[in-house]
Amino acid sequence: MSCKKKTLLLFDVDGTLTKPRQVIEAEMEEFMENLKTKCSVGIVGGSDIVKIAEQMKGMSVLDKYEFVFSENGLVAHKSGDLVHRQSIASHIGEKNLQKLINFSLKYMSELELPVKRGTFVEFRSGLINLCPVGRSCSQAERDQFAEYDKEHQIRAKFRAALIENFAHLGLRFVIGGQISLDAFPDGWDKTYCLRFVENEGFDAIHFFGDKTTEGGNDYEIFADARTVGHTVTSPEDTRKQVTEFLSL
């Protein structure tokens, strides 16, 4: 394997290193273990660190990779140490936060979907996760909603309504994973994590993600001038593209 240590490879998690909300498979885990011995490697996900750890086989993920950015980098770890944490509540204020949550709950309450479960709003340190089907849905129900969403554009329409009502607060809304949207202040997308790596002396920063079209939660970092963006379609495609890129 050939790779320059001065090149940083940053990976999205959901849909890139793992199947949506599933645990990293042995083949991918072995691939990443091999890769990180030759390259500087980091991961950046929209989920909180608990969910990322679940998908990456435990909190040992913090020690496995040089950089682990959860919640788009609003919670940042370097070499296992917490180096930064930001709070959306303190940034936009409780009044605006409740307006957003109340609007979202009312909007989602009026949707008719194949199923609805629980946990429609999840408060995280750096963002608010909004889920029309409910985050407590089963994997089968998650897959069912994803297919329904492709046909009926549930999240795209929800996103448009959120932009119309809350963009004046300096908030952004992006579609991520299979079932939800993330809401956060301008600049708190995945490019937020770049502030922790852009001065580390890397010759190049490559980002691999699956939601790289506008409105997806990988779009901003994919298109950022500080990165070289790569669009992948699955963990298998990630391995294929990284292998081709590095001429392994």
| Cβ count within 10 A of residue 119 | 12
Angle at 193 between CA 43 and CA 191, to 5 degrees: 105
For residue 41, the cross-strand partners are: 9
CA separation, residue 44 to residues 29, 49, 72, 78, 87 (Å): 16, 10, 6, 12, 17
Residue/partner pairs of 26-34 with CB below 8 Å, 24 or more apart = 27/239, 28/235, 28/238, 28/239, 29/57, 31/239, 31/242, 32/64, 33/64, 34/1
State the helix-helix crossing angle for 139-152 and 154-166, rounded to 10 degrees: 70
For this structure, is 14 an active site residue? yes
Given 14, 182, 189, 218, the catalytic residue: 14
For this structure, is 218 an active site residue? no
Residue positions annotated with a catalytic role: 12, 14
